[in-house]
Chain A
Amino acid sequence: AQTVTQSQPEMSVQEAETVTLSCTYDTSESDYYLFWYKQPPSRQMILVIRQEAYKQQNATENRFSVNFQKAAKSFSLKISDSQLGDAAMYFCALPANAGGTSYGKLTFGQGTILTVHP
């Protein structure tokens, strides 16, 4: 079974600085997607970034980038030039595939609360 672990319940960062959120996972699959979702106080789940496991190049979306270490099963999110609007709960997610088709089902980590200080 897939597991996703976010070992940092809370993180804080000063505005304009950089912060890295950690995620480790376990899967027996060789080809899969990994996701970071953001959940602000409005509770809306917003996709931040997606990484395809077969791609060696780390995904980047503006100020957000990942450090994907497939062998170590590590998928961290780096937020550069942090802004007040980045304050939210961040979830790492992995398709819940125990062999066969996942049909897109996701397993989520426990989440990391990010606070941004002005």
Chain B
Amino acid sequence: NAGVTQTPKFRVLKTGQSMTLLCAQDMNHEYMYWYRQDPGMGLRLIHYSVGEGTTAKGEVPDGYNVSRLKKQNFLLGLESAAPSQTSVYFCASSLGGTQYFGPGTRLLVL
């Protein structure tokens, strides 16, 4: 039982490049979330999903897109990366109560 996993662990991008972050969970959770964490701050919600095929915007959705084609996977995409998107990205899943987090992806945009 791996819990919540994230791929990749670390990535460096140049401004304007695109990439996709993958989150996978094996707990059969309905809800999944993407957060970003910037230095000295708590986590802020980017997008979330309440089930396969559904997505919704969180607190800071601009510049990101998401997809939930399969219940166990939640993808976060950056179409044209900007330096302001340098951050640590966390994925989480839940049944509506306690959230379980992945290990994080550190993204550096130059």
Query: Which A residues form the contact surface with B (CB < 8 A)?
Result: 4, 33, 35, 37, 42-47, 50, 91, 93, 96, 102-106, 108-111
Assuming the A-B contacts A33-B97, A44-B104, A45-B90, are A103 and B42 also in contact, with contact meaning beta carbons closer than 8 angstroms in the complex?
Answer: no
Asked whether, in the complex, the Cβ of A43 is within 8 Å of the Cβ of B104, the reply is yes
Nearest residue, chain B, Cβ from A35? B98
Which one of B40, B45, B90, B103 contacts A105 once the chains associate, using CB atoms below 8 Å? Answer: B45
Asked whether, in the complex, the Cβ of B41 is within 8 Å of the Cβ of A110, the reply is yes
Q: A45 to B104: give the CA distance in the assembly, Å.
A: 9
Asked whether, in the complex, the Cβ of A103 is within 8 Å of the Cβ of B98, the reply is no
Asked whether, in the complex, the Cβ of A106 is within 8 Å of the Cβ of B41, the reply is no
Q: Kindly state the interface size class of chain B when it binds its partner.
A: 20 to 34
Q: A35 to B101: give the CA distance in the assembly, Å.
A: 13
Q: Which residues of A contact B99 (CB under 8 A)?
A: 35, 47, 104, 106
Q: A67 to B96: give the CA distance in the assembly, Å.
A: 24
Asked whether, in the complex, the Cβ of B31 is within 8 Å of the Cβ of A43, the reply is no
Which one of A43, A50, A104, A109 contacts B42 once the chains associate, using CB atoms below 8 Å? Answer: A109
Q: A110 to B45: give the CA distance in the assembly, Å.
A: 14
Which one of A4, A45, A93, A104 contacts B31 once the chains associate, using CB atoms below 8 Å? Answer: A104
Assuming the A-B contacts A103-B96, A105-B58, are A110 and B31 also in contact, with contact meaning beta carbons closer than 8 angstroms in the complex?
Answer: no
Nearest residue, chain B, Cβ from A111? B42
Q: A33 to B101: give the CA distance in the assembly, Å.
A: 17
Which one of A37, A46, A91, A104 contacts B94 once the chains associate, using CB atoms below 8 Å? Answer: A104
* The 7 A-B residue pairs with the shortest CB-CB distance in the complex, in nearest-first order: A108-B42, A45-B101, A104-B94, A104-B96, A43-B104, A108-B43, A103-B50
Q: A106 to B100: give the CA distance in the assembly, Å.
A: 12
Nearest residue, chain B, Cβ from A102? B96
Interface assignment of B33: CB less than 8 Å from any CB of chain A: yes
Known: A45-B101, A108-B44. 18 other contacts (CB 8 A): A45-B90, A47-B98, A47-B100, A50-B98, A91-B42, A93-B42, A96-B45, A102-B96, A103-B48, A103-B50, A104-B97, A105-B33, A105-B45, A105-B58, A106-B43, A108-B42, A110-B40, A111-B41
